[in-house]
Every structure is written in structure tokens, then in C-alpha cells.
Amino acid sequence: MIRSSIAPSRQLLSPTTGRQWLQSSRVRGGLVGKKHYSRTRKAPVISKAIPTLDGVVLPVRGNNAFTTSAILANDSHVRSPPSPSSESAIAPEGVPRPPQSHPVQTSPGSSVDGRAQPPPETNTPPPPPPPAPKKGGRFRRFLIYLIFTTGLAYAGGIWLSLTSDNFHDFFTEYVPYGEEAVLYVEEQDFRRRFPNAARQITRRVTGPREEGQNVTIPGKSGLSWKVSEEESEAKEAGSDVSRKGKHMSATEVNKEKTAAVEQVKAKKEAAPAIKKETTPAESKKPALEEARSPALPTASPVQPLSIAIEDEPTVQELMRIVNDLISVVNADESSSRFTSTLSKAKADFEKLGERIIAAKQESYKFAQEEIEKARADMEKSANELIRRIDEVRADDAAQFREEYEAERERLARAYQEKIKIELQRVQEVSEQRLRNELVEQAIELNRKFLSDVRSLVENEREGRLSKLSELTANVGELERLTAEWNSVVDTNLTTQQLQVAVDAVRSALENSDIPRPFINELVAVKELAAGDPVVDAAISSISPVAYQRGIPSSAQIIERFRRLATEVRKASLLPENAGIASHAASYMMSKVMFKKQGSEEGDDVESILTRTETLLEEGRLDDAAREMNSLQGWSKILSKDWLADVRRVLEVNQALELIETEARLRCLQVE
């Protein structure tokens, strides 16, 4: 700021005086000596020297380059005359005298020794007396003093702005260009303290990146309880709260598109946040400040890219990426730097889309021509095939007719022979039937004889046969009882196996260090139940999330409750519309609150936590869940996940108890 205010004042000095001062400062700084110039130049340098009246050789511009050959005389009274057009207020006697300078290199490829050489002898007449100095320069001095005073005022204002917040607000609001000056000084101070900060912010991550993955900002961010309630209400309205998982949402697409814009805004807000943390005086500012207007006018936004190619997923994906990039640049405050580049890239993409459409049309036209050629060849081949088929069909018809006649004659002869054979067999069958009737009569006589003999024998052995019948009846009754007892034993065995399977499920849930699925155990219980409707209903009442992900054991629930109780105590004093100060106050008050012991009565958070802990130690999960469900406000929101786990544990335990009861009822029914 100070340099920029003093720089215009340099132009007010006399050209001759300024050149002499600069030459004197170069000589004092030790810059005179051996000077080497580049050997490769586009045009030769023509060095000229114009001798003046007082023996000073002045350099002359030649071919757009200054020659540095200037030999000064050793006379202490030699000085350059003032320019007649100069309006400098400095008297010629007050101009500093340039010291003796060494000869300077005048041509490329040569070097001049730094030792002093005697000046060339010049036969110039003595200089004329200098003209009388002009009086005046009051306005120039006033302007210089005004610029210097303004620079000091701006410097002091910037320094006070960095140390005082009130003066910072006044200086940046009412002083012209005060905000830009303060921001420039703060930026330079930040870069001096953290030289690698800008590089780390703009550093690009070179790790592996999955295609199609979008950058998103977590939804549950911030400290306001309203955000959590709005999200929970949206979930309850659009999905089933009885199961977990991703549900359909109409806002997810918009969130994915604006994720890149929010990421750019977050990066821009990161740098001012770092600078505010490093300044102790600026930490007293309020958390919310009004957004400042941009220093430069925003450029017109670039319109999104649109290519009418819907059947090409690659082109659509590329168009989506370009549109996301355009939306990010449009959202950026410095988008004017990328507008021309994006417009050019957009035009190139549109040309590429036109070329793709033209290529597709040419391919379609070529394919249509090939299809027409193939269709003509196919019709020609089909006609030829039909003609050949007709010829073959006619030949086959004649051949079949001949074969038919020959076969008909053969069948006629075969039928004649068959009729003769049938007549012969009928005759043989009739003769055989007569013989069979005779044999049947003989058999009937023999059967009648045997029945008579058996009746006589039974009459004689009536006593022995009756005992054998009773023995057979007893054996049948014994077999029936054995079959019934076998079914009873099988039922008891199935019931015992069902009880063992239920015990296996319970032991798997109690002995596991971490929640694990118990699908296999439930499948075994269902198979052993053999379609029992009570067991099936009990298993179906268990939430799929419980047996797919597992449920925590009683020890894990108690341990998690103790961690939850600490967080609930921190939020126990929060009102419904709590802010940052309320959160901080509640956290500090929770550190000095006394923890109750035993069975306390009351509706406050500490009494409910004490009763819940006592019930959990006694193993009464149901009563503990009812106690925690009576919490209100932030305490209930914090304990929502713990209550959900306890409900799943209670559902599983209730289902297992129902299955065990059904197994006992089976045993009682069998007995």
C-alpha cells in the first residue's frame, strides 16, 4: 500500500536529477565492476557517446538498447547541467555530485577491467554558468507530503485494524480500499507464517478413485437438535422404521449433484478459519458474520452441456461430469477465470457430440445398405430353395406312390395268411378249452375231498387250534403297543432335540463377545419343530436384523449403558432449543453433579439412570427399557439406539421362552 502510494511521486522528479541519483546509488552499492552480457543477441548494439561541454560522456539509446559506456571526469567541479524543461525545486548547487565511475562494457563478448583508467583528454570549453533556480514547487511539496501522510495513515490504520476489532470494522467499512489493504496484509502475514498452507489446501489427492463415486457431506453435522428431528421425521415419513436399510428418497439425486459445490465452498472457508484462529484479538468476534460482497463482479454462469445422445451411457456419463464441473465453477466466486476455458471445452464437447451423431448416422446408413443387400440375397436363395423343394417333393410323391402300391399288395397277402392262422388257432383253443374243463372238474373233486378230510382233522384237534389263535391275538396286541411306544419315544426325542437347539441359541447369544448372527441355530430349531405353527410364529416375530447381525449380550448392554449414561448426564440439563452456550453449560454442570446410588424415586434424569442401572444389574431388561423410554428431549434422542438394541434382545428372549414353553407342552400332551 505504501509502495503503491509513493511510486507515482517518483515521476515528479526531474529526469536528469533522478538519473544522477540512480547512478550514484549504483556506484555506492558496489555494482560497478566486471559486467558480462549475453553473447546471443538479436541485433548488434551500437554504442554512441556524445561529449558534453563539461567533459561528461552521455549514453545514447541505440537500436532499442542503452549503451552503458559513460566515462566521468576526475574533476570534482564537474556536474551535469539541469534540464531546461525540468520543474524540480532542487537548486543545481544542491545536486549530489557523482563519484568517479569505472568504464563499463560497451560491446558483447568483451570484459573491462575494474581498475580505474585515466579519462580521455577532451578539448571542451568550460561550462556556462548555471541559470538561476526557479522559485516555487509548493504544490509538489504539498502533494508529496499529502501522499506520505496518507501512506502513514493507511499503515497505521492497518496496524490498528490487526490489533483492534472495533477499529477493524470502522476501517474496513468507512475508509476507501481499507478492506483490500487489510486483507492483503493478513494474507502476506499468513503466507509468511505458513508457507506450505496454500500448497496443502490446493494439493490434489492422487489415491485410487472409484468410478461414479460422489463426494458427499455428512447429513448429521452441527449441534442443533432441529436437524436431527427433521431427518428422523423424513425417515419416518418415507420408510419403514421397523427395519434398517436404504430407502427411496427424492432428495438424494440433488444431494449428489451439489456435493461438489459444497466441497469447494468448504475449502474456501478453510483458509479464513485458520487465520482467525492464529489471531487472539479476532477470537472475540461473534460466530455468525454477514457475508461480504465480492471485490470483483461475478461473471455470467456457463450454461450446462446438453448432447442429444441418450443411448450412449459413456457420453451421458462424460456429459454429467462436465455439467458437475460447470456447476462447481459457477458456484465459485472466482469463476470468471475459468469461464472462457469452460466455454471452449463445452464447444469442443458439443462438436464431439455432433461428430458422434454423424458417425452413428453413417453407420446406420451403411448397415441399412448391407441389410438390403442381405435381404435381396436371402430372397433369391429362398426362391431357389423353394424350387428345389418342389422338385424333390414331386419325386418323393411318385416314389411314395409306388411304395404304397407295393406295400398294399404285401399287406393283403399278409392278412390272408393271418386269417388262415387265426382259424387254425381258434380250432386249437376250442379243443384246449374242452380239455381244461375236464381238468377243472377233476380238481374240484379233489378239493372237495380235501375239505372233507380237513373238517375231520379239525374236529379232532379243536383244542390245540384254539390255543394257537389266542397266542396270535396276543402277539398282535404286543406289536400294536410297541408301535405306540415307539412314537412316544420319537416325540420325546424330538422335544429334547428342540430344547437342546433352543439352549444352543441362548448360549450362542450369551457367550459371544461381540454380536454375531445366529441364523443356523434358528434354522435348526425350525427344522426340529416340524411345522409347528407356534414355533414358526415365534421365529417369524424375531426381527431379521436381530438374527442377521446378532444381538448384544447382557454384559454388553450393561457396559454400553454405562457409557451412554455419561453422555446422557452431559445433556440432561439441555433445554429443547439449546444452542452452543447451553451445550457448554450442560457439559460443565455434568462434571460437578453427584451420581445417585440405589433405588431413587423421581422423574429427573439422574434418578431414571440410577433405577435403570439397578434393574440391569438385576437382569430385568424389560423394566430398564421402560425406565429409559420415559426420558425426554436430548436424553431420549441419545438413548434411542440403546433402546432399539434392548427391544431386539427382549424380542429374541420372548421368542425363545415361547419355544421352550411349547416344547414342555408337547411332553405333557404325550404323557
Distance CA 669, CA 492 (A): 11
The answer to whether residues 525 and 407 belong to one domain is no
DSSP secondary structure, 99-153, as one string: --------STT----SS--PPPP--PPPPPPPPPPPP--HHHHHHHHHHHHHHHH
What 3-state DSSP class applies to 435? helix
In a domain, 17, yes or no: yes
Among the three residues 456, 474, 505, which one is the final residue of a domain in this structure? 456
The answer to whether residues 387 and 443 belong to one domain is yes
Distance CA 14, CA 259 (A): 60
In a domain, 366, yes or no: yes
Distance CA 23, CA 12 (A): 18
What pLDDT is recorded for position 403?
A: 93
Among the three residues 129, 144, 176, which one is the final residue of a domain in this structure? 129
Question: DSSP code of 65?
Answer: E
The answer to whether residues 452 and 500 belong to one domain is no
In a domain, 142, yes or no: no
The answer to whether residues 36 and 113 belong to one domain is yes
Residue indicated by cell numbers 526531474:
14
Question: DSSP code of 594?
Answer: P
- Are the C-beta atoms of 281 and 163 separated by less than 8 Å? yes
Question: DSSP code of 577?
Answer: T
In a domain, 98, yes or no: yes
The answer to whether residues 446 and 514 belong to one domain is no
The answer to whether residues 506 and 653 belong to one domain is yes
Burial class (CB in 10 A: 0-12, 13-18, 19+), 498: buried
Distance CA 642, CA 624 (A): 11
In a domain, 60, yes or no: yes
The HSE-up count of residue 341 (CA atoms within 13 Å, CB side) is: 9
The answer to whether residues 452 and 514 belong to one domain is no
pLDDT along the chain (671 residues), means of 10: 45 44 45 45 44 42 39 40 42 48 43 44 64 70 91 90 89 89 89 74 49 52 47 45 43 45 49 40 40 50 69 76 79 70 79 82 89 91 92 92 92 92 92 91 90 82 73 85 80 78 78 75 78 79 78 82 80 61 60 57 75 82 83 79 85 83 72 52
The answer to whether residues 401 and 549 belong to one domain is no
Strand-pairing partners, residue 170, are: none
What 3-state DSSP class applies to 66? strand
The answer to whether residues 452 and 504 belong to one domain is no
472 contacts: CB under 8 Å, gap ≥ 6:
none
Among the three residues 87, 103, 129, which one is the final residue of a domain in this structure? 129
What pLDDT is recorded for position 602?
A: 66
Domain total of the chain: 3
Closest CA to 662 of 481, 512, 551, 533: 533
Q: Which three cell numbers stand for residue 487?
A: 412314537
Burial class (CB in 10 A: 0-12, 13-18, 19+), 55: buried
What pLDDT is recorded for position 233?
A: 47
Show the domain range for 32.
1-129
Distance CA 407, CA 413 (A): 10
In a domain, 447, yes or no: yes
Closest CA to 103 of 91, 111, 94: 111
What pLDDT is recorded for position 644?
A: 85
Q: Which three cell numbers stand for residue 118?
A: 585515466
Pairing, β 49-51 against β 61-62? unpaired
- In angstroms and rounded to an integer, the radius of gyration of the C-alpha atoms of the chain is 55
Distance CA 475, CA 468 (A): 11
In a domain, 616, yes or no: yes
Closest CA to 624 of 538, 554, 572: 554
What b/e sequence results for 535-571 when a residue is b if at least 16 CB atoms lie within 10 Å of its CB, and e otherwise? Answer: beebbeebbeebbeebbbbeebbbeebeebbeebbbb
What pLDDT is recorded for position 298?
A: 52
- Are the C-beta atoms of 78 and 54 separated by less than 8 Å? yes
Q: Which three cell numbers stand for residue 48?
A: 554512441
Residue indicated by cell numbers 407295393:
406
What pLDDT is recorded for position 283?
A: 41
Query: 80: part of which helix (H) or strand (E)?
Result: none
What pLDDT is recorded for position 244?
A: 44
What pLDDT is recorded for position 123?
A: 59
Distance CA 541, CA 559 (A): 27
The answer to whether residues 33 and 83 belong to one domain is yes
The answer to whether residues 437 and 505 belong to one domain is no
The answer to whether residues 423 and 501 belong to one domain is no
For 66, phi then psi, to 5°, come to -90, 135
What pLDDT is recorded for position 116?
A: 42
In a domain, 406, yes or no: yes
